[in-house]
Amino acid sequence: MGFLLGMNGKLMAGKRVRQLQARMMSVQSQLRRATRDIESMERQINAQQRQMTNSIRTYGSLQMYGMQTANQMNMQQLQASIFGDFYAQAGNDMSKWTDAQRSDYTNLTSKYQMQAALMNNEMGSMQQMMQTTMAQQQQQIENEVEMLKELQLEPLKDLEEELQLEKETLDSQIQLAQQDYEACKEMEKAGAKNLTPQYTGQG
The predicted structure's pLDDT at residue 1? 54
Residue 141 has pLDDT above 70, yes or no: yes
Give the confidence band of 6 by pLDDT, cuts at 50, 70, 90.
low
Q: Report the predicted TM-score, pTM, of the whole model to 2 decimal places.
A: 0.64
DSSP string, the chain: -HHHHHHHHHHHHHHHHHHHHHHHHHHHHHHHHHHHHHHHHHHHHHHHHHHHHHHHHHHHHHHHHHHHHHHHHHHHHHHHHHHHHHHHHH-S-GGG--HHHHHHHHHHHHHHHHHHHHHHHHHHHHHHHHHHHHHHHHHHHHHHHHHHIIIIIHHHHHHHHHHHHHHHHHHHHHHHHHHHHHHHHHHHHHHHHHHS-------
Q: pLDDT digit string (tens) for 82-95?
A: 999 988 888 888 88
Residue 119 has pLDDT above 80, yes or no: yes
Average pLDDT over residues 141-156: 92
The predicted structure's pLDDT at residue 203? 45
Q: What are the domain boundaries of the chain?
A: 2-195
The predicted structure's pLDDT at residue 22? 95
Give the confidence band of 26 by pLDDT, cuts at 50, 70, 90.
very high
Percent of the chain with pLDDT over 90: 70
The predicted structure's pLDDT at residue 199? 52
